[in-house]
Structure 1
Amino acid sequence: MALLNEVKSELASVETDLPAAKMAQAATMMRFGGGLRPVGNKAVIRAQFDSLEATEWLRKTIAHYFQREAKVTKISRQTPNGIVQRYDLLVERGATALALQTGLLDRRMHLVEGLPAEVISGNIAQVKAAWRGAFLARGMISDPGKSSYLEIICPSHETVTALQGAARRLGISAQARKVRSSERITLRDSDSIERMLMLMGAPRSAREWTGKRTDGEARGKANRLANFDDANMRRSAKAAAEATQKVKQAFEILGDDIPENLKAAGDLRLQHTDASLEELGRLSNPPITKDAIAGRIRRLLQLAAKTKRAQEHQQDNE
């Protein structure tokens, strides 16, 4: 539980100047925390969270970006494990307009079953913000040393599907599962959990989770780079770094004279220096296979080498 609080505290402190990312996070938090609902003869937005910092982030965002007032109430509930604190956020005035602004209602005034289309089809910053918002609202993570999982309880099957698609865009595979009546999306691979924490904006918690997990598994005798899988990761990271340097040199040699598909592949390599070829293929628009992205980068480097030889030959003749 302590680690969960630390993760949510770190995520709630993430700062972004991108309005679209703020809107994506706010919309997802409201959707997963409760959402638009009728109360008497009017509609309100009500969402409940277990983190005061997450609640305050949403309240401030609603005030600053949407000019709406949100009230926060502390709720204490007795459970078999003791008293549980929750924080209830309520928007009464202008709730319908806020739902339209954030995409919780579509243009036909229908409730969106999953996540707003502009969020799930938005840029990578919006995708990361959506996962961050969902985790802040309903996320859980295992304590180090136990069976690894990162899990989010989802309000509907459509929201599960939306988060699965968002995870794929980040190069991560997430599984849907149903526990009694609740829909959930789960990561169980330790490396995927670490990577998702980093992408959501919690690098400190990711390092802590990984370090404690490693200490528990190896009793302090080795860290992650000591095993075979991590040796492969290290080799992959080295290869990616070398490829990034070669792409930089290729861009310098070729200047603006680069075919668009090869330039796009090179740009992806420069933008995601630690990503695998498979992840780069998923990040392509439209997505392509690992072999296809590798082929494009290879042709880019070959074109640069050919151009450099031609330039050197021309200089020798002069």
Structure 2
Amino acid sequence: MALLDDVKSELTAIEGELPLARKAQVSAMIRFGGGLRRSPQGQIVMQVQLDNADAAKWMQANIRELFGHESRILTASHATPNGTVQNYVVLVERGAGALALQTGILDRRKKMVRGLPADVVNGNIAQVKAAWRGAFLAHGSLSDPGKASYLEVICPCPEAAMALSGIAHRLGIQAKPRQLRSSQRVTLKDPDAIERMLNLMGATRASREWTGKRSDGEARGKANRLANFDDANMRRSAKAAAEACDKVRHAFEIFEAEGVQVPDNLRAAGQLRLEHGDASLEELGRLAEPPISKDAIAGRIRRLLQLAEKTEKNLVK
């Protein structure tokens, strides 16, 4: 959540955007974060719920500057499985209907626009980027680095999801709408597409941080997998060495009991196995006098055990 909050704060700190782009951003924030409501007193109001304080302040300032309406910011908190979440509601009580017309949320017939305003969908690239920025500020989320990658916006209806997906295509990004339980969503899962969208929206610093942490997470994951693999190999090698020691010890007991003469090279190999119970075959080969290969030391131990097995079978007969 900390990274997501940083992304949204960075998006609201962008300077130098032209009025048309800022209007598109306000329109998208209203469409994806709330809309017109009827208050308990029967008054038509506009309220937009956001999860970032900077986004709420940005919207309040731009509603005043661009459209000439005053608003209030209300705070509310609610408990979730991951802890308490703070929400911010930008509330326009006077002139809400006029603001809806100005932002294109209502069309000229004063009917609610189901997707995004036509002026935004057909606008220039700066407006398209701003609309995606507004939708993300209103109801967007971003995966933590190290987890399955996604950038997602929850949409109020299928038409809004289709509109958001459509303007993503204008930016050269494939963003498919999908339905998850009762909600409509537009989701990016490709890490390169996510990085590009963050940059297009204006979160360049957060994009670098997200990409860097994701790469570090992937590297750590690979290192952990290799470490686990090496650890498993070590455990298997240690188990095999312990079993070999037991077999060699049993073989020497048989030879001693029966007075069997064992070839010197086989006896020396068995003795090395007993004296260096944790050593690998390669290490045993280096300890031999003169040093020999691991295949050679393995062959000598194998012939030693075969001799012991043959001796034991003759005893049974």
Interval of TM-score (by shorter of Structure 1 and Structure 2): 0.5 to 0.7
Residues 37-88 of structure 1 show CA distances to partners (whole Å, capped at 9, x for unaligned) of 2234331111111000000000000111111011001102123332211011
Q: Which amino acid aligns with 1:78?
A: A
Cα distance in 2, alignment partners of residues 79 and 153 from structure 1? 18
Check conservation: 1:144, 1:213, Cα contact below 8 A. Answer: yes
1:12 maps to which residue? 12
Q: Which runs of 5 or more structure 1 residues have no equivalent in the other structure?
A: 223-318
Cα distance in 1, alignment partners of residues 120 and 176 from structure 2? 20
Cα distance in 2, alignment partners of residues 37 and 173 from structure 1? 33
Cα distance in 2, alignment partners of residues 44 and 4 from structure 1? 29
Q: Which runs of 5 or more structure 2 residues have no equivalent in the other structure?
A: 224-317
2:75 maps to which residue? 74
Q: SS of the counterpart of 2:56?
A: helix
Check conservation: 1:214, 1:220, Cα contact below 8 A. Answer: no
Residues 118-139 of structure 1 show CA distances to partners (whole Å, capped at 9, x for unaligned) of 0010000000000000000000
In the superposition, the TM-score normalised over structure 1's length comes to 0.68
Alignment of 1:244-283 (within 5 A): none
2:283 maps to which residue? none
2:210 maps to which residue? 209
Check conservation: 1:164, 1:175, Cα contact below 8 A. Answer: yes
Alpha-carbon shift at residue 26 of structure 1 (Å)? 0.3
Cα distance in 2, alignment partners of residues 176 and 220 from structure 1? 30
* Paired positions, count: 222
Cα distance in 2, alignment partners of residues 120 and 174 from structure 1? 15
Cα distance in 2, alignment partners of residues 117 and 124 from structure 1? 14
Moved over 4 A (4+): none
Cα distance in 2, alignment partners of residues 88 and 139 from structure 1? 16
Q: Percent identity?
A: 61
Residues 137-173 of structure 1 show CA distances to partners (whole Å, capped at 9, x for unaligned) of 0000001111000000000101101111110000000
Cα distance in 2, alignment partners of residues 135 and 51 from structure 1? 11
Residues 179-206 of structure 1 show CA distances to partners (whole Å, capped at 9, x for unaligned) of 1100000000000000000000000000
Alignment of 1:170-209 (within 5 A): 170-209=171-210
Alignment of 1:102-113 (within 5 A): 102-113=103-114
Cα distance in 1, alignment partners of residues 110 and 21 from structure 2? 23
1:149 maps to which residue? 150
Q: Which moved more, 1:201-210 or 1:30-39?
A: 30-39
Cα distance in 2, alignment partners of residues 32 and 203 from structure 1? 23
Cα distance in 2, alignment partners of residues 175 and 2 from structure 1? 26
Alpha-carbon shift at residue 10 of structure 1 (Å)? 0.5
Check conservation: 1:16, 1:22, Cα contact below 8 A. Answer: no
CA RMSD of aligned residues (A): 1.5
Q: Which amino acid aligns with 1:106?
A: D
Check conservation: 1:46, 1:91, Cα contact below 8 A. Answer: yes
In the superposition, the TM-score normalised over structure 2's length comes to 0.68
